[in-house]
Amino acid sequence: MPRLNQETNSFKFTNQNDRKRLNGRQMGPLRINHERPERGSKVALIGWSVPSIEAMQHMNKPYIVVSHEDFKPYAEQHNIPFFAWDFGKPSHYQEVYERSGDLYAQLVELDVGHAIPIFEETVEWSGALNARLRNDPNVFEHSILFRDKAMMKRRAHIGGLKVGVFEEVENKEEVKRFFRRVNQSLLKNHSQDPDPIHFKALNKAGAAGHRMIFSEEDIESKLTDESFPGLVESHLHGMEISCEVFIHRGEIKFLNITEYVLLGYSSMVPPSAALEHYRPLIVEEVEKLIQAFDIQYGMIHPEFFITDQEEVYFGEVAYRIPGGHIFELIQKVYKFNPFGAHLLCCDPHTTQEELEKYVPKEVEADGHAGSFLVYPRKKTVSRVQIPPEMESHPSFDKHTLYKPTITKFQDTNEGYGNHWGTVFLHGNDSEEISQLLTDYVDYDFYI
């Protein structure tokens, strides 16, 4: 081999070469085609939700519900188009994709052309089905963005949203290292009160799997080997809010802000004026989010933190109907059916006219609506009591508390667990509603 008179492995040489490689290359997230091809007339609702089925029926659109076979007798009794499927408990997302082939084949036979997820765990199933329907595996990967919290935060970070620093962790040692490094940056490693960090499960809904770590001892006492893998994140200080954003063709059709009056217990729609004041700021962030996540169709439920400096930080985002009866609250004050709007926004075939008929243009609320989730507090319960002053309060709307069918209550110690009933409030004074939503946290509705 002839020797050249030039050093080819020098820094200057490689660097210049690498820079040339960047030229003319498509960088950043892969944009995918979100349009629904002209095949299959039906929409498949993945998961059982009576209000969604009612909305579908009401809009008179062809559909089929895909859910566990336990619902089959009821569906048959009431002529609900139904396909029984056992989603099982897949151990990783790839397993969902593999198993979805069978479901896809059967749904195609039933003339299904599009899938809409109802619950957190059905987001990837819908993604897998839509990927197959569009013959584009990236559609499945895209749905995981809304499920895998690390992937989600990374994507938000790349897209220019403000996020806390975070890391994926495999064991307690890594949590410890992260805790130290974060506090080192904050110069708080020798402080009596280091800043807390948050540990989260990678793909659970709501508060399930969430632990706050205030010290290294907490790592030992609050986490077990079963907690891993997980995600650790620096603490974001500020007000936590959620949004419900109805999106069609990449545009915001309606944006609701929900105030978490007491996280895990109570929500209020619309929020107090102090919070509503941030709407322009929030809209701006949501638009960034839509860009960053390449969202064209659907309803997203992001959570943000608003800091004392009026900066908006991204917490997380879900691609499903929110919990805590938020949709019922939206329906109460905005006078449209969000369950229907959700389905319309998820379907690329929905026309502008349909949307306009269903979703209001203006954000004009009739008072404030609040929901208070009631959990059992005693170990054994046999009856319901409603505080008389609550029931006779002018802002009391209704409750859904029945005598419990089980008398023994076992706290799962994971998340806030299932609530047994809900109290709904409605009135004009947001402060009054907030007060009522906080007053009864320690009240025994079930005794």
Partner 1 sequence: MAVEMDTSKIEAFKQELETMESTYSFAKSMYQSNVLQAAAKLMDDEEGLSALYQLAERYEQAGIFQDSPWEDPSKLQPYLVKGSLQAGGLTTISEMLSELRMVAIAKGVYKREGVSEGQAQSFLHEVMALNIDILFPEETEAARIEGEGKEKDRMERLFQFLEEKLSLASISGELVKEISGLIAQRPIMVNRIVKMVNHAEKLLEKDIAESDRKSIQTYVDAIKGRTKKSKNCDTKKYRNKIKNLKEDALKAEAHSFAKTMRETGLVASNHVVLVRYINKQHPQLLAEALDLTNKGKANLEEHLSFVQQLIKAGIHIPLRQSLYGLAKMLDRGVLSSSPVIPGMRRIFELDLHSETRKVLLNSINGNEGITANSILIAGVISVLGQPLGIGQGMNPTCQTARGISLWSLHAPGHLLDLIARAARDGDVDLTFEGQTIHSKDLREGLVDDLHDELDPVSLILVPHLDRIYSELVRRSKFRGDDVHKWVNPAFYGNWVQKGFCGVIDPMTGSVADYPGFVRLFYGTHHPDYNEGYELIYPNPVGIFITNAFGKLLGLHAVSIQRIAKDPSGEIRIYFYNPNNDSSQDWGQGIEPSVEGCNEIPGESSLPFHQFVSRLYAFHYNQYEQGDAYAVEDEIVQQVEKLAKESWGEQHTWVQL
Residue closer to partner 1, measured from CB, 169 or 343: 343
Interface positions, 79-138, toward partner 1 (CB under 8 A): 80
215 binds partner 1 (CB under 8 A): no
171 touches partner 1 by CB under 8 A: no
Rank residues 43 and 139 by Cβ distance to partner 1 and give the closer one. 43
Q: How far is the CB of 127 from partner 1 (least distance, A)?
A: 27
Nearest distance from C-beta of residue 64 to partner 1, angstroms: 14
Question: Least distance in Å: CB of 116 to partner 1?
Answer: 18
Residue 400 CB, nearest approach to partner 1 (Å): 4
Answer yes or no whether residue 384 interacts with partner 1 by CB under 8 A: yes
Rounded-to-integer distance, Cα 393 and Cα 272, Å: 20
With respect to partner 1, which residue has the nearer C-beta, 68 or 177?
A: 68
**Closest distance of CB 391 from partner 1, Å:** 6
Nearer to partner 1, 39 or 383 (CB): 383
- Residue span 387-426 as binding mask against partner 1, x where in contact by CB under 8 A, dash where not: -x--xx----xxxxxxx---xx------------x-----
385 binds partner 1 (CB under 8 A): yes
What are the residues whose beta carbons fall under 8 Å from the beta carbon of 64, sequence distance 6 or more? 42, 43, 44, 45, 81, 82, 83, 107, 110, 112
Q: State which of residues 386, 409, 415, 441 lies at the interface with partner 1 (CB under 8 A).
A: 386
> Min. distance of Cβ 383 from partner 1 in angstroms?
5
Cβ closer to partner 1: 335 or 403?
A: 403
Within the chain, what is the greatest distance between any pair of CA atoms? 97
Using the contact rule CB under 8 A, the part of the chain among 84-92, 188-196, 260-268, 386-394 near partner 1 is 386-394
- Are the C-beta atoms of residues 68 and 86 closer than 8 Å to each other? yes
Q: CB atoms < 10 A from the CB of 344, how many?
A: 25
Alpha-carbon distance of 119 to 125, in angstroms, equals 10
Q: Which of residues 29, 32, 54, 441 is near partner 1 by CB under 8 A?
A: 54
CB of 439 to partner 1, least distance (A): 17
Interacting stretch for partner 1, rule CB under 8 A, among 76-84, 131-139, 286-294, 427-435?
76-84
Q: Is 363 in the site for partner 1 (CB under 8 A)?
A: no
51 binds partner 1 (CB under 8 A): yes
Nearer to partner 1, 208 or 384 (CB): 384
Does 11 engage in binding with partner 1 (CB under 8 A)?
no
The single residue listed with the structure tokens 């500020």 is 238
Interface region with partner 1, contact rule CB under 8 A, candidates 69-77, 205-213, 238-246, 283-291 = 69-77
What distance lies between CA 299 and its chain's CA centroid?
10
CA distances from 372 to 42, 118, 166, 275, 423 (A): 36, 22, 32, 19, 5
Q: Does 59 bind partner 1 (CB under 8 A)?
A: no
Q: Tell me: does residue 57 bind partner 1 (CB under 8 A).
A: yes
Which of 17, 106, 351, 380 binds partner 1 (CB under 8 A)? It is 380
Q: Does 70 bind partner 1 (CB under 8 A)?
A: no
Nearer to partner 1, 166 or 420 (CB): 420
Smallest separation, CB 156 to partner 1 (Å) = 35
The minimum distance between CB 341 and partner 1, in angstroms, equals 17
Residue 382 binds partner 1, judged by CB under 8 A: yes
Instruction: Examine residue 78 and tell whether it contacts partner 1 (CB under 8 A).
Output: yes
Residue 377 exposure: Cα atoms within 13 Å on the Cβ side: 12
Measure the CA–CA gap between 161 and 235, rounded to whole angstroms: 16
Q: Is 370 in the site for partner 1 (CB under 8 A)?
A: no
Q: In sequence order, which residues have a C-beta less than 8 Å from that of residue 30 and are 6 or more positions away?
A: 138
Binding interface with partner 1 (CB under 8 A): 50-51, 53-54, 57, 74-75, 77-78, 80, 380, 382-386, 388, 391-392, 397-403, 407-408, 421
